[in-house]
Amino acid sequence: MNPNHVIAVARGEKEADLLLADARIVNVFSGEIVSGSLAIAGGRIAGMGDYAARRRTDLKGRYLCPGLIDAHVHIESAMASVTEFARAVLPLGTTTVVADPHEIANVLGADGIRYMLRSAENQPMNICYSLPSCVPATEMETSGARLDAEDLLPFMEEDRILALAEMMNYPGVIYGDADVLKKIGLARAHRKPTDGHAPGLTGPELNAYLSTGIASDHECTTAPEAMEKLAAGMFIMVREGTCARNLDALFPAISERTADRMMWCTDDRHPHDILDQGHLDYIVRRAIGLGLDPVTAIQMGTLNPARYFGIRDAGAIAPGYRADLMIFSDLDTPRAEQVYHGGRLVAEDGAILPEITRPAPVSVPRIMNLLPDDVDFTIPARGRRIRVIEVVQDQVMTGRRETDAAVKDGMAVADVSRDLLKMAVVERYTGAGGTGLGFVTGLGLRRGALASSVAHDSHNIIVAGADDRDMKAALNAVVRMGGGMAVACDGAVRAELPLPIAGLMSDAPMPVIREQMDSLISAARELGTRLHDPFMALGFLALPVIPDLKLTDKGLVDVTQFRIVPLFAD
C-alpha cells in the first residue's frame, strides 16, 4: 500500500481504485446504518462519499459491513488444512480468524506452530494466531511435544501472533507455577493479551486467576458465570461450535451494558456445520433471531475482537481500515453475497472465485509411533463399582457416575443394555503404547466401535466400543491411515476419514472431508448413537482440563481434583 496514494484519493485529488456505490453501510462505531458510497484505494478504505473511481460497483441498496472476525478457533478442528479452511469460511463473510494452533503444537511442538504460520502466507484472508500456552495441557497425559516459555519467546515477535492462547492450566495459575507465570509475563512484556480458559471458576479462585492479567474466557456455560467474569473485568467470547453450543445459555448476559466486552467465537467447528449452517455468520444470524440488535450482533463479530486483539486496521468501515467487507441483502438474516479482502472481490454467492489461487502446500512429518497388536483392551475386574464418564450433549464438559461393573470371565466389559461402553486412550508418540482404560455412557452405541486420532489435547488415539475386537479394528484403521477416524463393526471397518496432517487434518477440500465425515456419522448412527456429532464428543472425552471426569493414556482423570483416580471405586 502506498499511503500517499490513499491520502490523495481521500482528498479527492486522485481516482479511487473502486467505488462501492449506493450501499447501506453498517457503522459499528456509532451503531448507525448510513446510506452512501465507499471509496477503496490500495486495499484500504479511503473515504465515504461520491468519489471518482476507475471502477464503480452499484450495490443497489444492499448492506455493507466489516468482514467478520473469529476471536478463537482451532483450525485443526475443521479437519482441513489452512488453505482449505480459508476457502470454506471466507465465502461466508469471515475475513479474519485468530486461530490457536494448540492441537498441532501438542503433536509437533514448535514445528507445528511454524507449519501453521507458513501455511497462513498468501491466503485470501487474514489468518492470525494466538500462541499455545499449554503444551502439554497437563502432566496427566503424554503429548508429542513440550513447550516452555523459552520455546515460545521466538514467536512473540511474529506479526501474526496476537496473543498468548487459552491458559487452560488454571491450577498452575492459581498456585503460582513458575513456568505458567513466565509465559503470562512473556505476553505482557510484548503487550499482547493472554486468553483465559476457566470453566466454572468463581470467587477467590477466579480472582487469583485474573490477578495475573488474564483477559478473556470462552468457556462460560451459564449467564451468571459470564456476568461474574464480566464484572471482574474479563472479555467474554460467546462460543457456538459443534460440540459446545453456549449462545442460548449466555444470551441473557448480552445487553447494552455488556455487549462491548463480548464477542463471538467458534472454537471447534466440524465441516458439516460450517458447510450446512455457516461460520461466524451463523452465530450472528442466531443471535439476531434471539432478539439481539443486528448492528450489535455485527459489532460483536467485528469491532470488539479487533479492539481486544489490537488489530487497528480491521473490524470497522472507516478511513485507513483494510477493505475487508461483507455484502448482504437482509439485515435480519445476513448472508454473505460478496466478500472483499483488501479491496479485492474474493468470494461471491457462497463460493470463492475461481481465479483465487491456492498457495503451495507446506509439508509436515507423519507422527504415528504405535504397534496396534501390542495394545490390550482387557480390564481385570478389581472391584464391584466403577467410575464412568457421562457424555453431556452439546458440551465439552462431562458428568460422572458410579455404577456396578459388568463382569464376564473375571473381566470388566461393556454393557450396551445400560449404554455402558468400554473406552481407551492409546499413546502414539513414544512407541511404548501406554493405554488408559475406562467406561463411558452417553455415546449410545449398541454395537461396534469408534476410534480417532483427534483426542484433545494431546491427540493420542481414543477408542470407544461395545467389544474389544471392534475396538482393535478401529484402532488398526487409524494407525494404518497415519491418523484419522474410523468406525468398525463385526471386526471390519465400516467407514474412515484419513487425517494425514499430524493425525488432525486432511489436505482435501472441505466438501470432500464433509462427505467422508457424513459417512462416518451415518455408520456410527447405524450402530446406535444419536449424538449430533459423535466424533466431536469422543475427542473431548480425553481433555483433562474440562470437568468433570476424563480419560488419558495415563488413566482416569478427576478434573475437579486435578488428579488421576482409580477406575474401580471400591
- Position 530 pLDDT exceeds 80: yes
Please choose, from the candidates 178, 179, 186, 184, the residue with its C-alpha nearest in 3D space to the C-alpha of residue 197: 184
Task: Tell me which of 139 and 395 has the higher pLDDT.
Answer: 139
pLDDT-derived band at 139 (thresholds 50, 70, 90) equals: confident
Average pLDDT over residues 14-42: 97
User: E strands, 135-269, where?
Assistant: 161-167, 194-196, 216-217, 235-239, 262-265
Average pLDDT over residues 243-272: 95
235-239 and 262-265 strand pairing: parallel
| Cβ partners under 8 Å of residue 359, min gap 6 | 83, 119, 121, 122, 123
SS3 106: helix
Q: What is the side-by-side strand order in the sheet with 262-265?
A: 68-73, 94-99, 126-131, 161-167, 194-196, 216-217, 235-239, 262-265
> What's the pLDDT at 394?
73
Please choose, from the candidates 227, 236, 190, 184, the residue with its C-alpha nearest in 3D space to the C-alpha of residue 208: 184
- Position 186 pLDDT exceeds 90: yes
d(CA 473, CA 531): 22
In 10 A of CB 55, how many CB atoms?
11
- Position 235 pLDDT exceeds 70: yes
249: enclosing H helix or E strand: helix 247-250
> What's the pLDDT at 350?
95
> What's the pLDDT at 359?
93
How many residues in total does the chain contain?
570
pLDDT-derived band at 532 (thresholds 50, 70, 90) equals: confident
39 strand-pairing partners: 19, 47
- Position 378 pLDDT exceeds 90: yes
Instruction: Check whether the bond before 136 is cis (ω within 30° of 0).
Output: yes
pLDDT-derived band at 3 (thresholds 50, 70, 90) equals: confident
pLDDT in tens, 51-60: 999 999 999 9
In the chain, the percentage of residues whose pLDDT exceeds 70 is 100
> What's the pLDDT at 147?
96
Q: Quick one: the chain helix, strand, coil %, rounded to 5?
A: 30, 30, 40
pLDDT in tens, 548-566: 999 999 999 999 888 999 9
pLDDT in tens, 402-455: 999 999 999 999 999 999 999 999 999 998 889 999 999 999 999 999 999 999
3-state secondary structure 358-374: CCCCCCCCCCCCCCHHH
194-196 and 338-341 strand pairing: unpaired
pLDDT in tens, 98-120: 999 999 999 999 999 999 999 99
φ, ψ at 221 (rounded to 5°): -120, -5
> What's the pLDDT at 1?
66
- Position 361 pLDDT exceeds 90: no
The mean of the pLDDT values for the chain is 95
286: enclosing H helix or E strand: helix 280-289
Asked whether 125 and 156 are in contact (CB, 8 A), the reply is no
Domain positions in the chain are: 66-315, 372-564
pLDDT-derived band at 397 (thresholds 50, 70, 90) equals: confident
525: enclosing H helix or E strand: helix 510-526
Average pLDDT over residues 456-479: 96
Average pLDDT over residues 363-385: 91
φ, ψ at 288 (rounded to 5°): -65, -40
> What's the pLDDT at 373?
86
DSSP state of 103: H
> What's the pLDDT at 395?
78
d(CA 72, CA 569): 38
564 strand-pairing partners: 557
> What's the pLDDT at 366?
84
CATH of span 66-315: 3.20.20.140
> What's the pLDDT at 535?
93
> What's the pLDDT at 367?
86
